[in-house]
Amino acid sequence: MAIGVSEQVEAGEAAAARSFLGWRMVGVGFIANSLSGAITLSAFGNFVDPVSVDFGVSRATIGYGVSISFLVMGLLGPFSGAWLDRGRARSMMVVGVLLAGAGLILLSRTTELWQAGLLFCGVIALGAALFGIMPSMALIAQWFEKRRGIAIGMAVAGATLASYPAPVLAEYLIGSEGWRTAVMVFGAGTLLLGLPVFWGFVISRPEEVGQRPDGEAHPDPEGPEPETDPGIPLRDTAELARDPRLWMLAIGFGLILTSPIVLTPLLVPFGKDLGFTGQQANVFFLAMIPFSLLGKIVIGGLADVAPIRPAMALVVLANMLMWFSFHAGPGYAAFVVTGAIYGLGIGGAMPLQGVAIGRCFGRANFGRASGLGGLVTIPLIAAASALSQVLLASTGNYQATFLVQMGLIGLGGVLLFLVRIPASEAEGAAVAVP
């Protein structure tokens, strides 16, 4: 009889493991990052020239849209982080995709620059902030602890895969139908894909469906389900804000993550200045994709089981090398190879950031730690983007921007190496906050 009961328990645990829903959340995160990347960054550079011509303004004026939109996202971070820690991921992501999709459709009908700016920076960016990178990372952090690096890496790979088809689709639609039709197609696609996925599949925490992070069995089947991570308990927001590790991680990763934000609006125009066509310039992203995916999966997976510092060094060096190559004025072959180098470097950044935040603050505090850090990270990114446009307007070329980016990424790497990142969340719980 005892054997029969044991076999039933083992069968029940095996069934629970097979039905673990965490990987479904990774799929949700993948789609969220694909959509948010496509509508805010990946194709932005393709719209710079046609929009600037239509409204009669400079490239730099349109480029400021990225900076302002990221400031909006940063200001929202603490609020969205608190909502995520309270288990409201599903409703937040649904509201976000509705705002972003509707905003894009309305953007296609604008007749004045201020209308376009208000919609992109105040509605579309707000929507993307509610369902994009930070919410999807926080969602996955709730479902994974031991495999958080590879899970986040797989989810943020969505933004990487969108970075080539989104610009190609935008370039085709702009050339054949105009930029307004292209924006409308992006808006409709966002609603049609994102709304059913977020509404139908998002589950904020594994405990809501009787599961545990990583699909592990309940430690005490007869006892109550624990509400928070037993390693790092829920901390007061003010206490999190007093932890210097939070701000050092935010500044360090923020400086590194200036790369994609500064790069996106200038890549196609810079490629054209080098004598390439718009489609040839977009091949940079095609070369980037497989290496960025490799960086996300491999570096994210290694961060789960190996020391994190060597991976950080690789990310910093690869990003600096890209800007050095641009400063040197690459030929087309070197331009494409640089895309591969950049992909490897930037691909590992987001998984490493997720792992570092999780180990230092735990899943119970992940959303608020990310949101508070965003108060520094996002303005840094926005400032770097705005500075690149100022330098472009004042010098007429991108060389000063390339030098500034090398310096910013190097500084970010130094700050990250000064942070003591625990080897696990259990160790993180024992680290005294200075």
Using alpha carbons only, give the angle 68, 41, 316 rounded to the nearest 5 degrees: 95
Which tokens sit at 382?
Answer: 């926005």
C-beta contacts of 182-187 below 8 A and 24+ residues apart? 182/47, 183/47, 183/104, 183/105, 183/107, 183/108, 184/104, 184/105, 184/108, 186/38, 186/39, 186/43, 186/104, 187/39, 187/100, 187/101, 187/102, 187/103, 187/104, 187/105, 187/107, 187/108
- Residue from 19, 142, 125 nearest 88 by CA: 142
Residue with token string 């400063």:
327
Position 6 in a domain? no
Q: Domain with 404 in it: what CATH number?
A: 1.20.1250.20
Which tokens sit at 53?
Answer: 């011509």
Total domains present in the chain: 1
Which tokens sit at 373?
Answer: 């850090």
Contact (CB, 8 A) for 167 and 45: yes
Which tokens sit at 321?
Answer: 């090398």
Using alpha carbons only, give the angle 59, 60, 61 rounded to the nearest 5 degrees: 90
Which tokens sit at 391?
Answer: 């330098």
Q: Is 287 helix (H, G, I), strand (E, B) or coil?
A: helix
Query: First and final CA of the chain: distance in angstroms?
Result: 55
Using alpha carbons only, give the angle 265, 311, 161 rounded to the nearest 5 degrees: 40
Q: Can you give the pTM of this predicted structure?
A: 0.78
Q: Structural domain of residue 354, as residue ranges?
A: 22-207+239-422
d(CA 317, CA 259): 12
- pLDDT, residue 5, reads 41
- pLDDT, residue 231, reads 58
Which tokens sit at 220?
Answer: 């005490």
Which tokens sit at 367?
Answer: 């959303």
- pLDDT, residue 219, reads 55
Position 231 in a domain? no
The 10 Å Cβ neighbour count of residue 121 is 21
- 3-state DSSP percent of the chain in helix, strand and coil, to 5: 80, 0, 20
d(CA 163, CA 284): 10
Which tokens sit at 64?
Answer: 């400021």
Position 359 in a domain? yes
- pLDDT, residue 6, reads 47
Position 96 in a domain? yes
Could you give the C-alpha distances from 189 to 101, 102, 128, 386, in angstroms and in order? 8, 11, 14, 29
User: Looking at residue 236, what DSSP letter applies?
Assistant: -
Contact (CB, 8 A) for 71 and 381: no
Please report how the helices 309-328 and 332-347 are oriented relative to each other, as an axis angle in degrees rounded to 10.
160
- pLDDT, residue 425, reads 64
Position 219 in a domain? no
Position 178 in a domain? yes
Position 10 in a domain? no
d(CA 108, CA 46): 15
The 10 Å Cβ neighbour count of residue 19 is 11
Q: Exposure pattern of 222-241 as b/e (b: 16+ CB <10 Å)?
A: eeeeeebbebbeebebeebe
Q: What pLDDT tens digit does each residue of the chain (434 aa) get?
A: 444 444 544 544 444 445 899 999 999 999 999 999 888 877 887 888 888 888 888 877 887 777 788 778 777 877 888 888 888 899 999 999 999 999 999 999 999 988 988 999 889 999 998 998 889 988 998 899 888 989 998 998 888 778 778 888 988 999 898 999 999 999 999 999 999 999 999 999 898 898 988 887 665 555 554 444 455 777 888 888 999 999 999 999 999 999 988 887 788 888 888 888 877 888 887 888 888 888 888 888 888 888 888 889 989 999 999 999 998 888 889 999 999 999 888 888 989 999 999 888 888 888 899 889 888 887 888 788 888 878 888 888 888 999 999 999 999 999 999 998 887 665 655 554 44
Position 347 in a domain? yes
Q: Which residues contact 379 (CB under 8 A, 6 or more apart)?
A: 70, 71, 74
Using alpha carbons only, give the angle 246, 247, 251 rounded to the nearest 5 degrees: 125
